[in-house]
Amino acid sequence: MHIVLATCEVVPFAKTGGLADVCAALPRALSELGHQVAIFMPAFRSALQSGQPLEELGVELAIPIANKTVHGTLLRSRLPESDVPVYLVRQDHYYDRPGLYQENGVDYQDNCERFVFFCRAVMEAARKLRLSVDILHANDWQTGLLPAYLQIEYRSVPPWEHAGAVFTIHNLAYQGRFWHWDMVLTGLDWKYFNWQQMEFYGQLNLMKTGIVFADTITTVSPRYAQEIQSEPLGCGLSEVLKHRRDVLVGILNGVDYRVWDPATDPHLPAHYSAEDLSGKRQCKRALQRELGLPEAELPLVGMIGRLTEQKGFDLAAQVIPHWAQAARTQWAILGTGEAKYHELLQQLARRFPQQLAVRLEFSEPLAHRIEAGADLFLMPSRFEPSGLNQLYSLRYGTIPVVHATGGLADTITEATPQTLLDGTGNGFRFEEYTPQTLTAALERALAWYRDRGSWTRLVQNAMRQDWSWTRSAARYVQVYQETLRRVRQNLETSTAGSES
Ligand code: ADP
């Protein structure tokens, strides 16, 4: 199958979160299964500065945006360790900026225009490059217009005539909502600006557009696929999603073990595996030293993530003083995001310097070292579409403590003597979202931690579980095939209809 995958984030070109990991690992896995994937992304500054080889293709793109024509070009690179081409849509005025979507917490005010340009550029670029396309796979709101352009404007334009559109929701909380006049930028007729298609309470909604026009919608865990069909996790779109539930599928994200494996990870000071855990101890000591924490025998809790309301840092901040005062734990926290969480965490770090180390930055190497050096990994997310960090933690023998929501609920099974025996037990979870239930889950984890024999078995259990992309990629292939079958059947029916 020929797949065009459009996204804003791909490791190592541009990353703010899990989307970037997924959009690198899935194409690699699909390519290994024998499919031809071409990735399209904007040539963001971080991509231009990524150090990856970039070839100027000499393809001129002239894109209509409202009543002007905006020009762009195409660069080509390759996904490391694969044959997968990465086409970067270059338009320096739009994309050569410090952030991908925002700066200092404020969204770029021309975001709608930037991503209208990107979507139109993808449609045009595939035509100019004469790619073959069976499936157009769009990801999140920035690419939500792609399914609409396919269905409305490109059905008779090669190479798009027989393509099916798959739209993946990685996080429904970010919808790309803009004032209604931005509809003019899209170049689509105002007739589509209605409550059943692109309009949402008077605004243009690009996430909704993707959901409405795609042939198939996927999201990144089965549980999240259910959760978004009602409020509050439907974020206002639950009815739209319910309406499309026949073509809504949840597929769990996987892990790229070439990047996330403590036996080979180049960011770690020592390596280890389930068979020989001695290196993990060295990683813990080195992490304590790196972060300026005492090299004590205390359990070390790691947290990494975007500092937004979603990730539950405020809940964690409510329980940390309890644990820090009793001097029963150490904490290693890495994140960037909203100023209020920066302040909250800095205050805690000042109050408990022996217990708490906070790094307010984006650092891939430190993320790896926290995964390896911590004993426990806390993810108290209010909601979590899939979550990757808990899966990385499992492979690094760092036992997750999670709020049982979305992908966290789908992947983490409470450790009990029984689940340890049957191989499923891999962490600790709390159902209700309160400081008390979180504290209780941490208490259970620490009780296990003190029993060194059981703890080692739990760690080994976690490390041996397989959450690789192989299974998830095969599921995407099934979904692509099913989409194509449906689309081609519909196209045949409509051609037969118009001929008779
Ligand atoms: P989300 O996509 O909602 O941000 P995920 O758990 O799916 O959450 O993926 C988060 C990814 O981003 C992980 O690879 C994580 O290590 C990484 N990450 C988040 N914040 C940081 C940070 N400050 N430094 C390094 N990596 C980070």
Tell me the C-alpha distance between 298 and 288, whole Å.
11
pLDDT tens figures, 90-129: 999 999 999 999 998 899 999 999 999 999 999 999 999 9
391 Cβ inside 6 Å of ligand 1:
no
Note if the pTM is more than 0.95.
no
pLDDT tens figures, 435-475: 999 999 999 999 999 999 999 999 999 999 999 998 899 99
pLDDT tens figures, 316-325: 999 999 988 8
How far is C-alpha 479 from the geometric centre of its chain's CA atoms?
A: 19
Q: What confidence score (pLDDT) does residue 413 get?
A: 98
**E-only strand ranges, 96-225:** 102-103, 106-107, 135-139, 164-169, 177-178, 199-200, 203-205, 216-219
Q: What confidence score (pLDDT) does residue 45 get?
A: 98
Q: What confidence score (pLDDT) does residue 126 get?
A: 97
Can you identify the CATH homologous superfamily of domain 278-464? Glycogen Phosphorylase B; (3.40.50.2000)
Pocket test residue of 22, 139, 257, 304 for ligand 1, highest count of atoms within 8 A of CB: 304
Q: What confidence score (pLDDT) does residue 327 get?
A: 74
363 Cβ inside 6 Å of ligand 1:
yes
pLDDT tens figures, 135-172: 999 999 999 999 999 999 999 999 999 999 999 999 99
Q: Do domains 2-254+471-499 and 278-464 have the same CATH topology?
A: yes
How far is C-alpha 201 from the geometric centre of its chain's CA atoms?
A: 27
In CATH, which of 1.10.230.10, 1.10.3720.10, 3.30.70.20, 3.40.50.2000 is domain 2-254+471-499?
A: 3.40.50.2000
First to last CA, the chain: 31
- In the predicted model, is pLDDT for residue 500 greater than 90? no
pLDDT tens figures, 201-227: 999 999 999 999 999 999 999 999 999
- In the predicted model, is pLDDT for residue 385 greater than 80? yes
- The residues pairing with 60 across neighbouring beta strands, listed in sequence order, are 73
Tell which atom from ligand 1 comes closest to the C-alpha of 19.
2
User: In Å, what is the CA distance from 357 to each residue of 307, 375, 458?
Assistant: 15, 15, 26
User: 17 C-alpha vs ligand 1 centroid, how far in Å?
Assistant: 4
388 Cβ inside 6 Å of ligand 1:
yes
Q: Domain residue spans in the chain?
A: 2-254+471-499, 278-464
